Amino acid sequence: MDFFEQQARARAQSRRMLWLFALAVLAIVGAIDGVVLFALRAGTDPRSLPPPALPIVAATSLMVLAVIGLASFYRMLSLSSGGSAVARSLGANLVAPDTANPQQRRLRNVVEEIAIASGVPVPQIFVLEQESGINAFAAGHSPADAAITVTRGALDKLTRDELQGVIAHEFSHLLNGDMRLNIRLMGLLFGILLLAVIARQILYFSPRSDSRRDGGGIVLIAFAVMAFGYIGVFFGRLIKASVSRSREFLADASAVQFTRQTAGLAGALKKAAGIEAGTRLQNVHGEEVAHMLFGDGIGLSGLYATHPPLVERIRRLDPQFDPATLPAQAQDWNDPNYRAEEDARPPAAASADSALLGFAGNTTVAAPGAADSRFGGFAEARPGSTAGVDPESVGIAATAGPQAGVLVPAVVSAQVGRPGEDDYRGAMALHRALPGDWLAAARDDQSAVDVVLALLLDADPRVRGPQLQLVATQYGAQRLVAIEALFASRASLPPEQRLPLAALTLPSLRRRTRNELTRLMNCLWALVMADGRVEVFEWCLARLVRDQIAAVLAPVFAAAAGQRELRDARDAVLSLLAVLAAHGNPDPSAAQAAFDAGAAAIYPAGPRPPFVPPQPWTSVMDQALDQLDQLVPTAKRALIEALVILLSADGRVTVIEAELLRVVCGALHCPLPPLLQS
């Protein structure tokens, strides 16, 4: 099951869950109405007229619905700032960008590497310092506002490989759309629970008398509301547990596909099963996030269990596992002084050259700056070559150039949201090769803006002069010095490092105020338009940052479920194809051929649409992508495959085409790994 099928499945599951909760709420309302009717009849003097039952029952129904609805809305609103709100509600501490703690540095490196390999923004990173159990969770509305949280026990007890397995498991939830579902579960359950809590308080403060005159009817109704409310909570938790269990095996399988080895994840699960603290959370709010966790955090079992048993999960990864061996292994793990490896960097698995170029597999690559035919996320597979380049994989480019091979559309679309071992190894190499000053600046709250602006400055001094004046006006002369210092070293940045560096700034940008983020966006577009024309890379960088900032400012509306089909977005699709064909092919006849190939792939029937490169292309592109983001997942897959056919129509791909494809996929919320499979 690929990314698009998983997205469709998650949305269908979300709809089923909402229907089940709606039925549960209606059942609660109906049961309470029945008790109210009984109380009215029981409290009526036979010699008097009966009270008007219908208005009272209607008012009761509205009150119950209002309590549940408003409470759910309030809880979801309280989580509207994204995954960081969930992490902080449990008392988690944000990992500082300049942390000197080797375990936290190792955690940050692992998270950043997996984010680069997945093609998604880097999430914020938190640690539950008071939790000695091994656990973790991912929370947020979309990848752009996600937060990854791990326990102190996970940092202390897990090796780097094991930590990679756990983080890859959480990224699977992030990519599969589970986080948005989890946030909704938290809000809906809170609404039903609050109804029961209010009724309990009414019952507590009601008169202790059986006399109807002293409020016996109120006591009866309050007791019924409390009882039915807790029954609703019971069934709501059953729904939550069922949804969670069904996603855990999938997340384990995705983590194994990602890291391409079972030992790391299996080792983490074995330690979680063997240590005394297990996966339990001591936090009083642990039950609320139980369905988000890596392992069961509150000790529930049976139908209430939010996770499959650890032993069952281990055996799926290691069929030879014998639970009887755990006690002997756990002796060392339970030692209070036991600490797993504390290296803050991955082992030197790649050579210096491959670290710079980010190639997957066993490859021999040219030294940085050497002439090479590898480019823009692709590597040439030369027939009969002894260079060691794996023809089944393609790497990250150091230089621009033509590509003789052609990508297979179905293979590329299968990579969306499904990074593999090659993606992770390439991302590790790329991450290790990032210049220290740029990486430190991208992580720093104050300097992250400098990184984005420095990446966008023009190499031509005639254009850069007015750009620097704009920056000085917006940010002052002092910041201008730092930006110019970064720009001075930008020439040494290989092309494949530019967009990842921009993506690494997101955790820091998230902590800026709304006004600061708005000012950054205005400044970016002013820099882009400083010379009156827009280069493709300028648009790619500005669009990437714009999408990330938009998700930060309004996370609830990020990656909302789309309902449109391709037939409903024909104009937007053809506009997107025309822009990519025009920028990938300077020759008009080649652009026409590429456009025809893409259009025929997505609209095989009917007359051939005309090829008209839109002007201005940037605004047309932005409008088209905003519309196409509302496509259903299967339509997005067909669109991406058509784009690959278009880009490959002339038998070569360029750096700029590769960057365009990745940014377009990002705008469609279809994250594409940096290594594209041929």
Residues identified as active-site: 170
- Token reading at 93: 């501490």
Distances (CA, A) of 464 to 442, 461, 493, 501, 529: 22, 5, 18, 21, 12
Task: Name which of 482, 578, 497 is nearest 541 in CA terms.
Answer: 497
- Per residue, the 3-state secondary structure of 279-348, as one string, reads CCCCCCCHHHHHHHECCCCCCCCHHHCCCCCHHHHHHHHCCCCCHHHHHHHHHHHCCCCCCCCCCCCCCC
Q: How many C-beta neighbours within 10 Å does residue 369 have?
A: 11
- Token reading at 231: 């029954």
Task: Name which of 571, 528, 564, 572 is nearest 546 in CA terms.
Answer: 528
- Backbone angles phi and psi of 566, in degrees to 5: -60, -35
DSSP string, 20-78: HHHHHHHHHHHHHHHHHHHHHHHT--TTSPPP-HHHHHHHHHHHHHHHHHHHHHHHHHH
Q: Which residues pair with 510 in a beta bridge?
A: none
For residues 504 and 122, the answer to whether their CB atoms sit within 8 Å is yes
Q: Give the contacts of 489 (CB within 8 A, at least 6 positions apart).
A: 435, 437, 438
Question: Would you call 125 helix, strand, or coil by DSSP?
Answer: strand
The C-alpha torsion from 521 through 523 and 525 to 530, rounded to 10°, is: -170
For residues 341 and 159, the answer to whether their CB atoms sit within 8 Å is yes
From CA 477, how far away is CA 285, in angstroms rounded?
A: 47
From CA 180, how far away is CA 456, in angstroms rounded?
A: 33
For residues 424 and 116, the answer to whether their CB atoms sit within 8 Å is no
Omega before 673 cis (within 30°)?
no
DSSP string, 363-432: ---PPTTS--S-BTTB----TT--S---TT-----SS-----S---HHHHHHHTT---HHHHHHHHHHHH
From CA 499, how far away is CA 542, in angstroms rounded?
A: 10
Q: What is the DSSP letter of 138?
A: E
Q: How many C-beta neighbours within 10 Å does residue 553 have?
A: 15
- Distance from chain centroid for Cα 442: 19
CA angle 390, 396, 400 (to 5 degrees): 110
Helices first, then strands: H and E counts in the chain: 27, 4
Task: Name which of 186, 9, 153 is nearest 82 in CA terms.
Answer: 186
- Backbone angles phi and psi of 404, in degrees to 5: -80, -25
Q: Give the contacts of 602 (CB within 8 A, at least 6 positions apart).
A: 566, 573, 577, 638, 639, 642
Question: Would you call 150 helix, strand, or coil by DSSP?
Answer: strand
Amino acid residing at 473: T
Q: Which residues pair with 125 in a beta bridge?
A: 148
